[in-house]
Amino acid sequence: MPLRTPLYDSHLAAGAKMVDFSGWEMPIHYGSQIEEHHVVRRDAGMFDVSHMCALDLVGPDARAYLRHLLANDVAKLTTPGKALYSCLLNKSGGVVDDLIVYFFTAERYRIVVNAGTALKDVPWMRSQLKGFNAELLVHRTDHHDPVAIIARQGSNARERRRTANDAVAMIAVQGPNARERFWTAFPDTRAATETLGVFQAAEWNGWLIARTGYTGEDGFEITLPASDGARVWQKLLDAGIKPCGLGARDTLRLEAGMNLYGQDMDESISPYEAGLKWTVDLKDAARDFIGRSALEGKNARPVRNQFAGLLLLDRGVLRAHQKVITPQGDGEITSGSFSPTLTQSIAMARLPEGVALGSEVEVEIRDKRLKARVVKPSFVRNGKSLI
């Protein structure tokens, strides 16, 4: 049976077309994917992201555990509410998942992992808790949530999921006018959130309001009790924030150069080949995080590819898995689509080392070779072209 978020009925009432996404029934659009894309770039749109998995890490060794678990270093988080993006690696340096971790104290963190990887992430993260005085608590979003099954399997009661009344919904409000429209709907939150910097969150009356997103625009991601979800969604609608589906979310994140797990990276790919070297913190030589030995030193796994953007110069549409032909050898597109903002096709790709930015390559599309230019893998941010 497909999983449903607390906002499922709200989507049906708004006329959403529902599709399966990693086992969840989610809206792909509410009529026009292109219009939803543009409303986020120009005004304010909102997404149901309740299918993401929220975890609380608590305990005296929480900080030490995360410094061992993650490639990025949570030691740099010192301001309550500050967030960090990181890869979760396996011992061979492959990407198990990418996630966001929020710091509150050295003994309390919030972690948000991807919907499609939660079933493997939670057992993996729990298996690494041995020797650390900390516990990982799972917030559910649905009474059929498979993460609850994993949590109930824990032999240690401290590792089991929180109670049903701790279920959460998550809503992302994104766009140049997103924060103002959110404050129109919920003016009492303004004092707690107006001074938030990018990648920082505030706790407010049982909500977590974070200035984060997956669109390349400003806005908030709000985690709140599931029982409040439908009411909050409606108030945001009343404030003029348009509902948007997974289709627009994908083209927005692609324009912003944001990776999608399972396409742009997976357990066979190191963060260095996914354009995520900046998330690997090697400054503290004594910090032995999982996968470190595979990324540095004489026994490090070789980096054979670079991550780059492509801008199609001919007519056509770039898609994942299309072959890229270069003088240095063949590469492959990992994510590709038509860009509504740029009105041409764009992609992210893994290319052989030595392919220069600005050079022309060819992409094999339906037995034809079309020309594309190699660019930095970030095309649009804050409504403006970076090309």
pLDDT tens readout for residues 151-162:
444 444 444 444
pLDDT of residue 123: 94
What are φ and ψ of residue 214, in 5° steps? Answer: -135, 35
169, pLDDT greater than 90: yes
Instruction: Map tokens 């500050």 to a residue.
Output: 82
Query: Is there a single domain that holds both residue 191 and residue 330?
Result: no
126 lies in a domain? no
CA–CA distance, 350 with 324 (Å, rounded to integer) = 9
- Of the three residues 255, 273, 289, the one that is the final residue of a domain is 255
Q: How many domains does the chain have?
A: 2
Find the mean pLDDT for residues 16-31: 96
371 lies in a domain? yes
Q: Note the pLDDT tens digit of each residue in 80-124.
A: 999 999 999 999 999 999 999 999 999 999 999 999 999 999 999
- Of the three residues 187, 222, 255, the one that is the final residue of a domain is 255
Mean pLDDT across the chain: 93
119 lies in a domain? no
Query: Is there a single domain that holds both residue 249 and residue 313?
Result: no
132 lies in a domain? no
Query: Is there a single domain that holds both residue 38 and residue 180?
Result: yes
Find the mean pLDDT for residues 287-313: 94
Find the mean pLDDT for residues 264-291: 97
18 lies in a domain? yes
pLDDT of residue 147: 54
Which element (helix H / strand E) includes 330? strand 329-339
Query: Is there a single domain that holds both residue 249 and residue 189?
Result: yes
Report residue 333 as tokens: 């597109």
Q: Note the pLDDT tens digit of each residue in 182-237.
A: 999 999 999 999 999 999 999 999 999 999 999 999 999 999 999 999 999 999 99
CATH code of residue 325: 2.40.30.110
Query: Is there a single domain that holds both residue 323 and residue 178?
Result: no
The CA–CA distances, whole Å, from 198 to 39, 44, 64, 209 equal 21, 17, 25, 12
Q: Which domain holds residue 333?
A: 304-385
Four-residue CA torsion sign, 159, 141, 24, 268: negative
CA–CA distance, 371 with 386 (Å, rounded to integer) = 20
Residue 142: pLDDT band by 50, 70, 90 thresholds? low
291 lies in a domain? no
Query: Is there a single domain that holds both residue 173 and residue 239?
Result: yes
98 lies in a domain? no
Rg of the chain on CA atoms, in Å: 21
Query: Is there a single domain that holds both residue 41 and residue 172?
Result: yes
DSSP 230: H
CATH code of residue 175: 3.30.1360.120
Query: Is there a single domain that holds both residue 251 and residue 310?
Result: no
Find the mean pLDDT for residues 352-365: 97
pLDDT over 70 percentage in the chain: 93
- Of the three residues 255, 287, 321, the one that is the final residue of a domain is 255
210 lies in a domain? yes
31, pLDDT greater than 50: yes
